[in-house]
Amino acid sequence: MLILVRPRQCGVIGAMGAFQTVALVGRFRSSGIEQTLDRIEIFLRERGLEVFRPAGSAEHASDVKSIVHRSGSTTEPPIDLAIVVGGDGTMLGIARELAPWSVPVIGINHGRLGFMTDIPLDRWTEALAAILDGHYEAEERTLLDACVLRDPDSSIPFAARALNDVVIGRGLVGRMIELNVEVDGKFMYTQRADGLIIATPTGSTAYALSANGPILHPQLNGIVLVPVAPQALSNRPIVLPDTCKVTVRIGDETDARVNCDMQTFSDLHPGDRIVIERSAHRIRFLHPSGYSYFATLRGKLAWQALPVLTARPPSP
């Protein structure tokens, strides 16, 4: 199922002016990544841009944070654009860190699927040239904030941000888990399942989709709750307004874990409450002119493929 609404903010062309300082970040230990980054850096410098290329891995928060803290400022980022060369996993880590700074991000696909890193590797030159000349489309994506509250004093042993999803799943024991779910303080259900996915529209085409969740258009003001292998077959995904606060309580004698974007993890205790709500921050992606979300779906999900007709068996 595809859910559409009128976009909250349509993409605009050439709305942000010239870029001066660019952070160039690559996927950690990817084959051929250094040569690609070298070529892009040369291209950017030839256009008169200052290029900051963090040392180390884009998968470590300390390296990503160095992008915005390299000047020592805690109020203004020293860059006005980030270029991410990698897959969606690389983009997830970068986007979470850059969202509070409102730094726009461009994604060049050096991974596999590439829903968010939408510029093909063999077309980065013309795509970057057009974007740097002011010809691009901008869109903003919602993030989620999650925190774990632990009694008796409601301490917070874990807090993280997610661009794709917050997933509560089975722990080391591997048994089905019991979850009590409230929305804005109102009881919704008690669920026994392998897990529960709370996804943004961006994350609706990730793990949530593989668990039979709906596809939400990126500009939809909603979040989707998708049970993973629920015990009750009548349990189905539900789309909620993104103004809701979702609270999930871990049942007694339940061994569970929580993760954000499959990149930050925490073990949970029975009775823990996981509070998930829309983040105050958003991430802005820049796409080449003519970008189409539907074209991305057609390409990545093979919507353009026709059913294969099987030959009729010969008549006896």
Annotated active-site positions, please?
88
State the DSSP string of 158-172: EEEEESSEEEEEE-T
**Do the Cβ atoms of 192 and 229 come closer than 8 Å?**
no
Helices 124-132 and 33-46, packing angle to 10 deg: 30
**Do the Cβ atoms of 249 and 179 come closer than 8 Å?**
yes
**Do the Cβ atoms of 253 and 235 come closer than 8 Å?**
no
**Do the Cβ atoms of 121 and 146 come closer than 8 Å?**
no
Q: Which amino acid is at 149?
A: L
Question: Residue 300 — φ and ψ, nearest 5°?
Answer: -80, -30
Report the DSSP beta bridge partners of residue 227.
196
Quick one: which of 164, 208, 211, 204 has its CA closest to 293?
A: 204
**Do the Cβ atoms of 84 and 90 come closer than 8 Å?**
yes
Collapsing DSSP to helix, strand or coil, 57 comes out as coil
Report the DSSP beta bridge partners of residue 275.
147, 247
Residue with tokens 């983009």: 91
State the DSSP string of 91-140: HHHHHHHHGGGT--EEEEE-SSS-SSS-B-GGGHHHHHHHHHTT-EEEEE
State the pairing for strand pair 245-250/177-183: antiparallel
